[in-house]
Chains A and B, each alone.
Chain A
C-alpha cells in the first residue's frame, strides 16, 4: 500500500508524517504537492498539520480550494482512506468530508502538550491495531481544536460509532480537566459515515518512535497498513 502526504502552503508536519510512513513503518510514501491534480496512486492520503494558507480567514478555509482537494474528495467518496491530522482535520471539516467545525480553544490559548486519549472504536481502518478503550498518549499543538457540532449531529456521530477518540484522564474518565480545549463531548477524533475518513486533533506522527519517548501514534499507521494487508 502507498501513503500520499499532502503539502499545502504552510503545512509543517508533512515530513514527520512522511518519515513515520516511510522510515518507521517501512511503507511506500510520496509527497503530494497542493497544485497536483493526481494522488499518484496513494491508497491513504494524509492531510498533515500546520497552518495551511496561514490559517487566513479560518483554519482550513482556503485550503479547500487547493487543486489537490478535488482528487482527495473523489478518493474519499470512492471509499479511499483519508487521514486528517490537526490542521488536516480542520481542512477536512471545511471541505465537508467530516461533519462539524473546529473552533477557538475554550480558554483561548494555543496548547502544545501531551493529552490522554481513549479509543472509542476499533472498527475502522485507522484503529484496528488498537483495543477498545485503549488509552493513548499523544501531543496536541493547536489554537483551534474545540470540536463543535449541533446536538443532532453529535447524537448521530455517537449513534453511528463515528466518535473514534475522546480526551480523558489517565484512567479513561471524561473529567472536565481532561478536556483541553472545550470540545463537545470530549471529542478528539471522528470518522465519516463510511469510516474511511478520519480526522483528529492530536498528532500520532509526533509520537511514533520509542526513541522519542512514545510510540503510541504508530498504532494508527500500523492499523492503516494492516487494513490493506487483510484485503
Chain B
C-alpha cells in the first residue's frame, strides 16, 4: 500500500515562507495569487501486512502525531492507495 501524507501549518499559524513565495509569484507577474501556504509531503510505501485498512489508518495517524507533524503548529491529512 502507498500512503501520501501532507503536513502543513494550521490555518491560525502565520506562514512567512508562504507569504514570501506569494510575493515572489506576484512580482513575477502572476496575477491573482491571493495566498500561498507551504507544507510537506511524504510518500510512504507500506509492506503488505494483511492488516485491515482501519488498522493501517490508525498506524498512519500515529506516525503523524508522534513524528511527521508537530501538532502544536501543524495539521496533517493522508490518502491511502492499494
Contact = CB atoms under 8 A, between A and B. Distances in A.
24 contacts: A57-B67, A57-B68, A58-B70, A61-B67, A61-B70, A93-B72, A94-B70, A99-B72, A100-B72, A101-B73, A103-B73, A104-B16, A104-B17, A106-B14, A106-B16, A107-B16, A108-B17, A108-B20, A148-B72, A148-B73, A149-B72, A150-B12, A182-B14, A182-B16
Interface in B7-37: 12-14, 16-17, 20
Interface of A: 57-58, 61, 93-94, 99-101, 103-108, 148-150, 182
B70 to A, nearest CB: 6
Given A93-B72, A148-B73, A149-B72, A103 B13 contact: yes
Given A61-B67, A148-B13, A101 B20 contact: no
Contacts of B13: 103, 148
Nearest to B73: A101
Interface of B: 12-14, 16-17, 20, 67-68, 70, 72-73
Given A100-B72, A149-B72, 13 more contacts: A57-B68, A61-B67, A93-B72, A101-B73, A103-B13, A103-B73, A104-B17, A106-B16, A107-B16, A108-B16, A148-B13, A150-B12, A182-B16
A175 to B, nearest CB: 20
Contacts, number: 30
Which residue, B17, B68, B73, has most C-beta atoms of chain A within 10 A?
A: B73
Contacts of B20: 108
A67 to B, nearest CB: 16
Contacts of B73: 101, 103, 148
B39 to A, nearest CB: 13
A121 B30 CA distance: 50
Contacts of A94: 70
Contacts of A105: 16
A104 B70 CA distance: 14
A104 B13 CA distance: 11
A20 to B, nearest CB: 30
Contacts of B12: 150
Which residue, B67, B68, B70, has most C-beta atoms of chain A within 10 A?
A: B70
A101 B16 contact: no
A193 to B, nearest CB: 16
B22 to A, nearest CB: 13
B44 to A, nearest CB: 13
A46 B39 CA distance: 32
A143 to B, nearest CB: 11
Contacts of A93: 72
